[in-house]
Structure 1
Amino acid sequence: MLITIVAGARPNFMKIGPIINAIKFQQERDRYINYRLVHTGQHYDQKMSGNFFHDLRIPEPDINLGGGGGTQAEQTAAIMVKFEKDLFENRSDVVLVVGDVTSTMACTIAAKKLCIPVAHVEAGIRSGDMTMPEEINRVVTDSICDHFFTTSEVANEHLLKSGVPDNRIHLVGNTMIDTLYQNLHRIRPPRLWSQIKLSSSNYFLLTLHRPSNVDHPQDLKKMLDVLLSNTNLPVVFPVHPRTKIRLDELGYRNDRLIVADPMGYLEFIFLVKNAKAVITDSGGITEEATVLNVPCLTLRNSTERPETITIGTNELVGTNPSNLIPFLEKLRTGKWKKSSIPPLWDGKTSPRIVSKLMTIYQNETIEAYSGFSMPSS
């Protein structure tokens, strides 16, 4: 069985690493399984892409499609054209897509047009906010793919309500948490840790990149003003390229706002683990904060990961800056809610996915691979 694994943007890389490790484990047991790794090039900045391959020990892709840049439509079209060509030359038994980035949707469409089955890792999550490009990517991908690997019962329910047969939905857990557990012993402090004399639980970690928070400079300024005026702690802010443009326009300065470049995975998770709290508009970071038992404040009006709120450490603050104030007070007074880790977020998701893929597809392809010589791992 040949699996084509698609990755295109920073959130994908944290999800494919453990899946590749699980495939390699099966190869060592002389199983008929192999993979190709296709990097679509959606994130083409070294700070946003290349460092993650190194940090997470992900093998070099078999091909980089170079599909980054341009508008959403231009990027989608470029990835589809280039991925279709790659599939013509390297037809696989199943295409595995992960998450909700543009590459996931584009490659799903291209594969299905060629009648190649598609399995979606992290299927079924929904924010209900169709102004988010990611939500469109999720809905389109899940409307045409063949098998659905989910992180929670809530995701299962979304898929069942949309008409997906129960036998195509597989609750397996969260591959991002596999990556977290596999790398916790390797995390390391970034250079700024010693430079500005940070210490555990004595700073906030901030990430912002969504249009609702950063596209209008004055809204971004108000958010930062409210945050910095309601805490005496430093705020470490690894700045997404999109956000840096707005900060530069503002000329925003504050002695307690520590602006940094995007970080590699190992340094960033070190900062998450040791933060007083994480303040973010990202979805994935809320999952990591939950498993690390770090309070998390999400600056959005909806979330596709409700289990991080109902079970985990996360709270949905909204995009109104004044909403931050009572949550910051809870942190200051030590009254943050109790939390736990969602079911199956145990670091063993990727072996479950690979085992299920073998069950689904191996019987159909083992004859074709009867003379296949497995590469050395």
Structure 2
Amino acid sequence: MLIDVIAGARPNFMKIAPIIDAIETQRKNGVDIHFRLVHTGQHYDKKMSADFFDQLNIPAPHHNLEVGSGTQAEQTGRIMMGYEALLMEKPCDLCIVVGDVTSTMACSIAAKKMNNIKVAHVEAGIRSGDWTMPEEINRMVTDSITDYFFTTSDVANNNLRKAGIPEERIFFVGNTMIDTLYKQMPRFIKPEAWDKYNLTEKGYMIMTLHRPANVDTQDKLKELIGEIVNSSNGMPLIFPIHPRTAKMLEAAGISAPNLHIIEPLGYLEFNYLVKNAKAVITDSGGITEEATVMGVPCMTLRDSTERPETCTVGTNELLGTNPKAVAPAMEKLFSGNWKKGGIPELWDGKTSPRIVQHIMDIWKLG
């Protein structure tokens, strides 16, 4: 059996690494199961791609489609064309896509149109309800043509049931990104920023912002950063910056003595900072999951989340996009009243072996 494992953007790499490990384990045990790693090249910056492959010990891709930058439509078209050509040369038995990036949707479409190749979606069924997010469209399109749905929570299971997906095609397995987190936690690396800014455990906060609702308007970004700075009690704020956000910060002239802008970090360095932080301030989805498992308070600057279990079970709170919501959350944090949180069901570091076992059962391998 040949499985294509698709990766294209930074969030994918943490999710595919343990799946590849699980496939390789079964192959070494004599099971007729093989993978072909396809990197679409959607993220082509070294910090967003090559460093992650190195740090997570992901093997070199068998194929790199090298699609590069472009609009949503341009990237989608180039990914579909590149992957279709690969499938025409040598089709696979199963295409595994993860998460909700453009590569996920594009490769799913190409596979289904190429002799109806079966598609397995890891992280299926999650929904934010926000159709302004490209990721939400990617999720919905991918799930509409997926054959096997591997889910992270019962909320996702119910979303799929409501969409009419038969129970026998839904597999509640947990979260592959947490597999990677548990495996790599002993290898976390102290970044240069730790000594440069004299950081101490629980003595700083780390923040990430990249969504248009927060960063694409100078006035909104300036107000948001101002609220964060003013309510931070002077605690260092470490801000590994997305290139688009960097341009907006510079144009708006935003600065503060305790606001430290740094370059994007590798996986091991970034999560070292998350693990030891007083809190995380973000508009990302995946970071809320990692913060939850590491027990770190997390403030999410979004109006909705596709990962509600990080709020109902974990350490995350959804603040919305109104900058005025920041100060009350900070007061709650500094008063010691932040919820302790727990770890969602099956986020135990064993998700990927469960996925591969289900695939083996479906194909009657082993």
TM-score class, shorter-chain normalisation, is over 0.9
Q: 2:80: which partner in 1?
A: 80
Native 8 Å contact 1:147 1:168 kept in 2: yes
Specify the SS of the correspondent of 2:210.
coil
Q: 2:166: which partner in 1?
A: 165
Q: 1:277: which partner in 2?
A: 279
Distance 1:238 1:362 in 2: 46
TM-score, scaled relative to structure 2: 0.98
For 1:35, the aligned partner's letter is F
Q: 2:117: which partner in 1?
A: 116
Distance 2:272 2:152 in 1: 24
Q: In the comparison of the two structures, how many residue pairs are matched? A: 364
For 1:66, the aligned partner's letter is E
Distance 2:140 2:202 in 1: 38
Distance 2:59 2:103 in 1: 19
Q: Which piece of structure 1 moves more, 300-309 or 331-340? A: 331-340
Distance 2:155 2:72 in 1: 29
Specify the SS of the correspondent of 1:95.
strand
In the TM superposition, residue 338 of structure 1 has moved relative to its aligned partner by: 2.5
Specify the SS of the correspondent of 1:47.
helix
In the TM superposition, residue 361 of structure 1 has moved relative to its aligned partner by: 2.2
List 4+ stretches of structure 1 deviating above 3 A. Answer: none
Q: Which piece of structure 1 moves more, 131-140 or 61-70? A: 61-70
Distance 1:13 1:168 in 2: 25
Q: 1:217: which partner in 2?
A: 218
Q: Deviations over 1:142-197 (max 9, x none)?
A: 00010000000000000000010000000000000000000000001101101111
Distance 1:79 1:39 in 2: 10
Specify the SS of the correspondent of 1:279.
strand
Q: Which piece of structure 1 moves more, 146-155 or 81-90? A: 81-90
Q: 2:147: which partner in 1?
A: 146
Q: 2:353: which partner in 1?
A: 351
C-alpha RMSD over aligned residues: 0.9
Native 8 Å contact 2:126 2:139 kept in 1: yes
Distance 2:170 2:247 in 1: 41
For 2:252, the aligned partner's letter is L
Native 8 Å contact 1:3 1:95 kept in 2: yes
In the TM superposition, residue 20 of structure 1 has moved relative to its aligned partner by: 0.6
Native 8 Å contact 1:42 1:67 kept in 2: yes
Gaps of 5+ in 2: none
Distance 2:59 2:89 in 1: 21
Identity of aligned residues (%): 60
TM-score, scaled relative to structure 1: 0.95
Specify the SS of the correspondent of 1:13.
helix
For 1:135, the aligned partner's letter is E
Q: 1:66: which partner in 2?
A: 66
In the TM superposition, residue 128 of structure 1 has moved relative to its aligned partner by: 0.3
Mapped pair 1:361 → 2:360: no
Specify the SS of the correspondent of 2:261.
strand
Q: 1:375: which partner in 2?
A: none
Distance 2:218 2:76 in 1: 28
Q: Which piece of structure 1 moves more, 236-245 or 306-315? A: 236-245
Distance 2:358 2:244 in 1: 38
Distance 1:86 1:251 in 2: 47
Q: 1:184: which partner in 2?
A: 185
Specify the SS of the correspondent of 2:160.
helix
Q: 1:7: which partner in 2?
A: 7
For 1:76, the aligned partner's letter is T
Q: Deviations over 1:301-339 (max 9, x none)?
A: 000000000000000000000101111001111000131
Q: 1:374: which partner in 2?
A: none
Q: 2:47: which partner in 1?
A: 47
For 2:131, the aligned partner's letter is M
For 1:356, the aligned partner's letter is H
Gaps of 5+ in 1: 367-377
Specify the SS of the correspondent of 1:223.
helix
Distance 1:55 1:3 in 2: 23
In the TM superposition, residue 362 of structure 1 has moved relative to its aligned partner by: 4.1
Native 8 Å contact 1:32 1:362 kept in 2: no
Distance 1:248 1:68 in 2: 25
Distance 2:226 2:250 in 1: 16
Q: 1:17: which partner in 2?
A: 17
